[in-house]
Structure 1
Amino acid sequence: MDYKAIAQQTVQEVLGYSQDTSGWKVVKISKKVTVSSKASRKFQGNLYRVEGIIPESTAKLSDFLYQPGNRLTWDKSLKVYNMIQRIDSDTVLCHTITQSFAMGSISPRDFIDLVNIKHYEGNMSIISSQSVDFPEFPPSSNYIRGYNHPCGFICSPLSENREYSKLVMFVQTEMRGKLSPSIIEKTMPSNLVSFILNAKDGIKAQKTSSGYGFHPNTLSSFQNKK
């Protein structure tokens, strides 16, 4: 499987979502985070767009979101987040297991995602991800394996204050299993808002705690692993 080609295609799809201004419906606004949705072209579900302002420079924010080393310290939606193979310095395969949510009505899922980071002029960064098959890490009977259609974060500096970033996140997750679409549509917007708020809390924590262990502008968590 040509993982590099898949990664490049995923980046282009995420860029396309960011440039698509038609058909979005605002489904939730909370604590200065806006969630919009439209029907996905990839599966019988929704593509979500989440927008918020993060009090961190774009370079540090993109690295913060990309590295798995500290992810579990702030991302309350996950209980496992591991890199399982490095494709190149900017592209990795990750295995994640989610927490249950919707008061337990949605059980944990696991995912194998191809994750890539790409930097652009003007300090914009795109972190894209898409689920892929990885024969060395087959599904287990312990979890339903979900599937992330092209997803991603777009980080860009605010023109009025470059120490702050605009974060736009695109999510289209196929949970699989026997789930009512209405349960997902009812719970997903709140979970996406929580993700942004948890990221803000995580950044605040790494600024105030010298023992946090986050090193901006490095990819050491990936690059030191083979």
Structure 2
Amino acid sequence: MDYKAIAQQTAQEVLSYNQDTSGWKVVKISKKVTVSSKTSRRFHGNIYRVEGIIPESTAKLSDFLYQPANRVTWDRSLKVHNMIHRIDSDTFICHTITQSFAMGSISPRDFIDLVYIKHYAENMDIISSKSVDFPGYPPSSDYIRGYNHPCGFVCSPLKENPAYSKLVMFVQTEMRGKLIPSIVEKTMPSNLVSFILNAKDGIKVHRASSGHRYLNGHSSLQKNN
């Protein structure tokens, strides 16, 4: 399987979602986070678009979101997030296990996702992910194996204040199992708002406690004093 080619194609698809302005319906606005959705072309469900402002530069925000090592320390929707295979400095495969949500009516899922960061002009970064098959991590009886159709983060400098970033997230997750679609549709918007708020809190804590240094496989960035 040509993982690199799949990663590049996924990033291009996320870019196309970001450029697509038609058909989105706002389903929730809370604490300056906007969630919109429309019918996915990939599966019988919705694709969600989540927008928020993060008080951090785009380069540092991208580094923070890309590195898997500390994801579970701030992302309360996950209980496991491990890199299981590195392809190159910009591409790796992760095994993720979610927490249960919707008051326990949606049990934990696990995912095998191909993650890739691509830098674009005007300081825009896309961190894309898509579920793939990976030898050594077949589905187990412990968890229902979910599937992420092309998802990702689009990080770009806020025009009014480049020290801040606009974060746009796209999610189209097929939970699988015997779930009533309406349960997912009712709970997903609130969970997506929580993700953005958790990321804002997480980057604030990380900035204060990491010696002002961001480290991952592709860069090391000093905090501006």
Structure 2 length-normalised TM: 0.95
Q: Give the alignment's Cα RMSD to 1 decimal.
A: 1.6
Deviations 1:69-124 (A, max 9, x none): 11111000000000000011100000000000000000000000000001112111
Amino acid aligned to 2:216: L
Contact 2:14–2:151 (Cα < 8 Å) also in 1: yes
Contact 1:70–1:214 (Cα < 8 Å) also in 2: no
Alignment of 1:1-226 (within 5 A): 1-209=1-209, 212=210, 215-216=213-214, 218-220=215-217
Amino acid aligned to 1:109: R
Query: Secondary structure of 1:14's match?
Result: helix
Contact 1:38–1:46 (Cα < 8 Å) also in 2: yes
CA distance in structure 2 between the partners assigned to 1:185 and 1:207 by the alignment: 34
CA distance in structure 2 between the partners assigned to 1:220 and 1:41 by the alignment: 33
Give the number of aligned pairs.
220
Gaps of 5+ in 2: 220-225
How far residue 214 of structure 1 moved from its aligned partner, in angstroms, is 7.1
Amino acid aligned to 1:215: R
CA distance in structure 2 between the partners assigned to 1:50 and 1:73 by the alignment: 21
CA distance in structure 2 between the partners assigned to 1:214 and 1:208 by the alignment: 7
Q: Give the share of equivalent positions with the same residue, in percent.
A: 81
Residue range with higher mean Cα deviation, 132-141 or 33-42: 132-141
Deviations 1:155-185 (A, max 9, x none): 0001221110000000000000000000000
Amino acid aligned to 1:219: N
CA distance in structure 1 between the partners assigned to 2:213 and 2:105 by the alignment: 37
How far residue 220 of structure 1 moved from its aligned partner, in angstroms, is 3.8
CA distance in structure 2 between the partners assigned to 1:207 and 1:129 by the alignment: 25
